[in-house]
Amino acid sequence: MGKNFSDFFLSSECMIRMASGWFYLSCLLLGSLGSMCILFTIYWMQYWRGGFAWNGSIYMFNWHPVLMVAGMVVFYGGASLVYRLPQSWVGPKLPWKLLHAALHLMAFILTVVGLVAVFTFHNHGKIANLYSLHSWLGITAVFLFACQWCLGFAVFLLPWASVWLRSLLKPIHVFFGAAILSLSIASVISGINEKLFFSLKNTTRPYNSLPSEAVFANSTGMLVVAFGLLVLYILLASSWKRPEPGILTDRQPLLHDGE
């Protein structure tokens, strides 16, 4: 029995070391892409759209794309990958659950502030709210995000839920986590397109002539797509998933009492 436990421990350590190298390389790329998504959006709003304010003007609107990219894409995507950290595979899960919930809460706060910015601008300028496909996608993603966070907090963080209930809801929680990120990316892409159509329709160089602002904004959108695809890849890569308690991964040899 002692030999089996020792072999299992050593095999787990080896698995963690093997997964860590590629995982942290992917995380480095992911961090670079996420930072570029936010910085590119800030630069776009600052250089071409006049900067930021909090007074109901168009400059208040400029907070909206920055905060939504930061909250619903970058912070949300990063929070989703907490359980892919090899260090989370061993030891108690509670610290990782707290980190997972805290990062998602930060993402949600940024998102809410981003929504306040756009609704305040629309109301101040007497512009209709929630009429475009972009807004429908975005508000759906935010609503699902709120439900997802509350469900996760109530079922997976608080100690009252049974193992049976958590096992039942875990696949649903994982599915909607990826679905919300996908909806967020779709909302960001449609939002970039919508912003460019509105901003460049009465200029000397319209959107279809591909001025420098359009090239930069389109490139920002491609960065968002690349970030989202990498997050989804890491989430789906079976070799980076936390092994279930008592279940050995395919890389590990089966241990029998007679060995």
Domain positions in the chain are 34-237
- Lowest pLDDT segment from 18-32, 42-56, 181-195: 18-32
Q: How much of the chain exceeds pLDDT 70, in percent?
A: 84
Cβ atoms of 72 and 145 within 8 Å: the answer is yes
pLDDT at 10 over 80: no
- Mean pLDDT, the chain, rounded, equals 88
Cβ atoms of 176 and 144 within 8 Å: the answer is yes
Cβ atoms of 72 and 187 within 8 Å: the answer is yes
Q: What is the pLDDT of residue 84?
A: 86
Q: What is the pLDDT of residue 185?
A: 98
Q: What is the pTM of this model?
A: 0.86
Q: What is the pLDDT of residue 21?
A: 72
Q: What is the pLDDT of residue 25?
A: 87
pLDDT at 257 over 50: no
Q: How many CB atoms lie within 10 A of CB 258?
A: 5
pLDDT at 127 over 90: yes
Identify the residue whose tokens are 């989370």: 88
Cβ atoms of 76 and 231 within 8 Å: the answer is no
Q: What is the pLDDT of residue 92?
A: 86
pLDDT band for position 14 (50/70/90)?
low
Rounded Cα distance between 221 and 134, Å, is 14
Rounded Cα distance between 19 and 86, Å, is 7
Q: What is the pLDDT of residue 237?
A: 77
Burial of 2 (0-12, 13-18, 19+ CB in 10 A): exposed
Q: Which residues fall within 8 angstroms of residue 7, CB to CB, at 6 or more apart?
A: 253, 255, 259
Q: What is the pLDDT of residues 209-238, one digit of tens each?
A: 999 999 999 999 999 999 999 999 998 876
Chosen CATH of 34-237 out of 3.30.360.10, 1.10.630.10, 1.20.120.1770, 1.10.1040.20: 1.20.120.1770
pLDDT at 248 over 50: no
**Which structure tokens are listed for 107?**
């993402």
DSSP states of 173-209: HHHHHHHHHHHHHHHHHHHHHHHHHHHHTTSSS-GGG
